[in-house]
Amino acid sequence: MKIIELSTSKRDLLILVVFSVIVLIAPFWGSLIGAGYPDLLQKFAIFGLFAVGYNILFGLTGYLSFGHAAFLGVGSYVAVWSFKLFTMNALPAIAFSIVFSGIFALVIGFLCLRRTGIYFSILTLAFAQMSYKLAYSVLTPITNGETGLFVLKDDPRVIDGALGIASAENPLASLFGITLNGYEGFYFCAVVLILGFWLSMKIFRSPFGMKLVAIKSNQTRMEYTGFNHRPYLLAAFVISGMYAGLAGALLAVVDPTAGAERMVWTASGEVVLMTILGGLGTMFGPLIGAATIKYMENIFSGINDTLLGTWFDFLPQALTDLLVTIVSPFVGSGWHLTLGLTFMMIMIFLPGGMVEGAQKIKAKFFNKSKTEQVESEQLEKDGAA
Amino acid sequence: MEALLLQVLNGLDKGGAYALIALGLTLVFGTLGVVNFTHGALFMLGAFVAVSVEKVLTISSKVRDESITFFEAYKETPYLEIWWGDTGAAIIDWSVPISIIIAIPIMLAVGIAMERGLIKYFYKREHADQILVTFGLAIVIGEIIKANFGANAIPQAAPEVVSGSVDIGAAIGLDGVVYPWWRMIYLAFSLSIIGGVFAFLHMTTFGMVVRAGMHDRETVGLLGINIEKRFTIVFGLAAVVAGLAGVMYTPILPPDYNMGMDFLVLSFLVVVVGGMGSLGGAVAAGFLLGILQSFSSMTAVKEIIPGIDQVIIYLIAVAILLFRPRGLFGKD
């Protein structure tokens, strides 16, 4: 698996433009696959962003964190508090979330990064579970415990009050007067996602990103060359924590609530699944993985026996029944089973995820893999110069 | 004094479960070098063996209820009761202990199948890969259980004779130390299983070879011993230990498909506190953390540090990992 690709700024710009177009026309291609409604598209964008950020830590440095949902949760809580105390405008909420989750990630990262490998994973897991348990119990005044945190009509909202913006019955997040729900909410998330993707691409192409990959491939050698890896790891950890906080804030923007269940360790596991499923350490992989899992969660879980029956209707009755019996455990409420199995298959046969699969297929048909192609282009250019 | 003793006892049975799961985890890590996130699911699987055994034993048919004479009333009566009367009823009553006998071969088979079918291919991969693939398997096992038994917890009853409580205090001259029989039995059971595993490893030739393999796998292999085969059996053994812990835990905590994940995290912390790969450490840390957890849930303690009962285990594990990463009993 090749993480650092040689690329030119022109090519990067092209990638970014194509990516933006794909994201912005999501309502169109979404409707083709039955996902053309704002709720799901928002989730694509938000969890895509979460996974993109997670990939900066796990994909580049190879440090497997099982606690990133904690940062997502912190981001959500901070955003909702910003809605409650200051204004329903989304921008301050996002800014606060990024800052707070960044500080939180700095503290936790500073402690966790003292250990490597499995010990690092367990430390992050322990910290995340601790945050989750505390959010449920002692921190109830801040988190509102099991009920979750809501935005109410008679919250103070100092800034809105000063500007004379009246409080609605069920306040929704807004952007200078535009209410951010439905497609407006999606486009807001989409723009943030594009910015986040652009930043992640910058990191991938930067010397900083290169150093992170160097730490992944041989940390000991980096140490022996007199390279202090800790600040770089910590920076990667904090950046990915901020991405998670941003994703949490966006969750609160499109639906102004926050609950502790977003922080439980299996929620952290989900972002790991997304990243791996799509393609660890690739720029697009985490996005594809996040979209796949959210698509499965919303579409697969809606498939029931009756619907299956109509799909296989063209077959003889006995065969239809047989197929429905075989397929039904894997859809509907059993979609997690499909997810788990797919994930295991990917881990066993295709550690590079769906992106690696696509590259393999491409290499088979075009006889030349993508990375080789870029390399040869680069060589040609060097030769010309 | 009474309250303290009660807390120690409360901690011991939970600690017994932690110790049993952690023992298997650390055994697998010490021998195969694999970080097994499926271990919690094996515990859960054991619990559901008990559930299934009870289900099978209570397969029933409708029988005319003769105590009601006004009209024809029917009630569900298990076949066992129809065939064997009181003996049958007693068998049903003892379904949890009976499940132990059935769980042993099942869990052994599951463990060996898992090692041969999946884990074997992950020895040479990174720990992160092992964690991830076993995490995926844990999801799959949990979902299979959910599909077959539903998402709700299914309570299991301990046998009638031991379903009450015992006044331990009376024996040593203290008042009000009343403790459920089954928890006492769980403690004794976990101690005997732990003893059994240690005896197996220290008193048999097989165990000696396994311990030698834990120290230096390569040399043992060079001596012409098929260490891989033995390690497979060790994996099966760890699965049996986790499964039995699960079977016996059902009367204490009604099992649901998710209980494995909860116990997995805690028992990983136990392993870390005890020292990765240290068997004695895992057992000691299991009981230690169990007792500390129940102490921290005392009202007196909670008044001083609110919320400590929720996070004590995590706090200790974090402190150990940061300041003594090889664990309390681990060797360098």
- Given a cut of 90, whether residue A71 has pLDDT beyond it is yes
DSSP B118: T
Tell me the C-alpha distance between B130 and A332, whole Å.
Answer: 29
Mean of pLDDT values over B277-286: 87
Q: How far is A58 from A54, CA to CA, in rounded Å?
A: 6
Of A111-125, A305-319, B97-111, B149-163, minimum mean pLDDT range: A305-319
The answer to whether the CB atoms of B143 and A136 lie below 8 A apart is: no
In a domain, B63, yes or no: no
Mean pLDDT of A290-297: 88
- In chain A, domain spans: 9-283
Q: Nearest CB to B265: which of A114, A129, A343?
A: A129
Report pLDDT for B329. Answer: 79
Quickly list H helices, chain B.
2-32, 39-57, 79-84, 86-93, 95-117, 127-149, 168-172, 181-203, 205-215, 217-222, 227-249, 259-274, 279-296, 299-304, 308-323
The answer as to whether B72 is a domain residue is no
Contacts of A125 in chain B (CB under 8 A): 265, 268
B237 part of a folded domain: yes
Nearest-angstrom CA–CA distance, A369 and A349: 19
- Residues B45-56: what's their mean pLDDT? 90
**Smallest Cβ distance to A115: which of B269, B314, B321?**
B321
**Structure ipTM:** 0.83
- The fraction of chain B above a pLDDT of 70, given in percent, is 96
Residue B233: exposure state from Cβ atoms within 10 A (0-12, 13-18, ≥19): middle
Q: In terms of residue numbers, what domain contains B272?
A: 2-53+100-323
Distance (Å, whole) CA B203 – CA B102? 26
- CATH classification number, A9-283, choose in 3.30.1380, 1.10.3470, 1.20.120, 3.30.160: 1.10.3470
- Domain membership of residue B210 (yes or no) is yes
Judge if pTM exceeds 0.90: no
Number of domains composing chain B: 1
Residue B81 placed within a domain: no
Identify whether B86 is part of a domain: no
CB–CB of A126/B317 below 8 Å? yes
| Contact check, Cβ <8 Å, B307/A343 | no
- Closest chain B residue to A352, measured at CA: B129
Within 13 Å of residue A17, how many CA atoms lie on the same side as its CB?
6
Categorize the per-residue pLDDT at A4 as very low, low, confident or very high, splitting at 50, 70 and 90.
low
Residue B33 lies in a domain: yes
The answer to whether A131 faces chain B, any CB pair under 8 Å, is no
Per-residue pLDDT band at A2 (split at 50, 70, 90): low
- Asked if the model's pLDDT at residue A334 lies above 60, the reply is yes
Element of type H or E holding B75: strand B74-78
Instruction: Answer whether A218 touches B (CB < 8 Å).
Output: no
Q: CB distance from A351 to chain B under 8 Å?
A: yes
Cβ within 8 Å, pair A348-B121? yes
pLDDT single digits (tens) B303-324 = 777 777 778 888 888 888 888 8
Give the model's confidence band at A77: pLDDT under 50 very low, under 70 low, under 90 confident, else very high: very high
Whether residue A272 and residue B311 make contact (CB cut-off 8 A), yes or no, is: no
Span B184-243, pLDDT tens digits: 888 889 999 999 999 998 999 988 998 888 888 888 888 888 888 888 999 999 999 999
Q: Which residue has the higher pLDDT, B313 or B163?
A: B313
Contact A78, A271 (CB under 8 A): no
Task: State the pairing for strand pair A149-150/A174-175.
Answer: unpaired
